[in-house]
Amino acid sequence: MADRKIRVLVAKPGLDGHDRGAKVVARALRDAGMEVIYTGIRQTPEMIAEAALQEDVDVVGLSILSGAHMALCPRIIELLRGQGLDDVVVLVGGIIPDDDVAPLREMGVKGVFGPGTSTQDIIDFIRREKGEPAPA
């Protein structure tokens, strides 16, 4: 009777308070059958890493619109790895300049989703990463 669900932490690090995008993604992932832990705005990297650990999530989705992604992402990834959360898939959505995508991937960000991304792309990406087939 194993009932494994993909668990996703959706968090907004940094100081901007625009959480509509994060909420749209959270809702879409819920509707795709995932368990979404939504933590709200103005999360510190420490809060995000702590919540990821306690909630034992498979995926951490970060929404960053402030331009601080090059500072926040490496810090969050460092904290996750420091707690032994090596398998957690880190995704970033928001306003990310093209030039930053390759460095972010190098830091360990698996997926970068800019404006105009369809939520289905994010769902498919997560399912692929977690080796779960899309439901028929």
Partner 1 sequence: MATQDSVTGLVEPLLAGNRRALARAISQVEDEAADSHALLAALYPHTGRSHIVGVTGAPGTGKSTLVNALARAFRGEGKTVGIIAVDPTSPFSGGALLGDRVRMRDLAGDPGVFIRSMATRGSLGGLARATGDALSVLDAAGFDRILVETVGVGQAEIDIAAAAHTTVVVEAPGLGDEVQAIKAGVLEIADVFAVNKADRDGADHTMMALQMMQGLAPATQGHHRPASGHGHAEPGAQGDGSWLPPIVKTVAVRGEGVAQLAGWIERHREYLAATGQLSRREEARAANTLDHILRDRLLAELTQRLPDGYLRQVAGEIARREHDPYSVVDRILSAYGCP
Give the residues lining the site for partner 1 (CB under 8 A). Answer: 1-5, 26-27, 29-40, 43-44, 46-47, 50-51, 53-56, 83-85
In the complex, the smallest distance separating the C-beta of residue 60 from partner 1, rounded to whole angstroms, is: 14
In the complex, the smallest distance separating the C-beta of residue 56 from partner 1, rounded to whole angstroms, is: 4
Q: How far apart are CA 93 and CA 114, in angstroms?
A: 6
CB–CB of 12/43 below 8 Å?
Answer: yes
In angstroms, the Cα distances linking 8 to 53, 63, 99, 102 are: 12, 13, 27, 23
Which residues make Cβ contacts (< 8 Å) with residue 96, sequence separation at least 6? 64, 69, 104, 112, 114
> Of 44 and 117, which CB lies nearer to partner 1 in the complex structure?
44
> Of 32 and 96, which CB lies nearer to partner 1 in the complex structure?
32
In the complex, the smallest distance separating the C-beta of residue 121 from partner 1, rounded to whole angstroms, is: 17
> Of 36 and 96, which CB lies nearer to partner 1 in the complex structure?
36
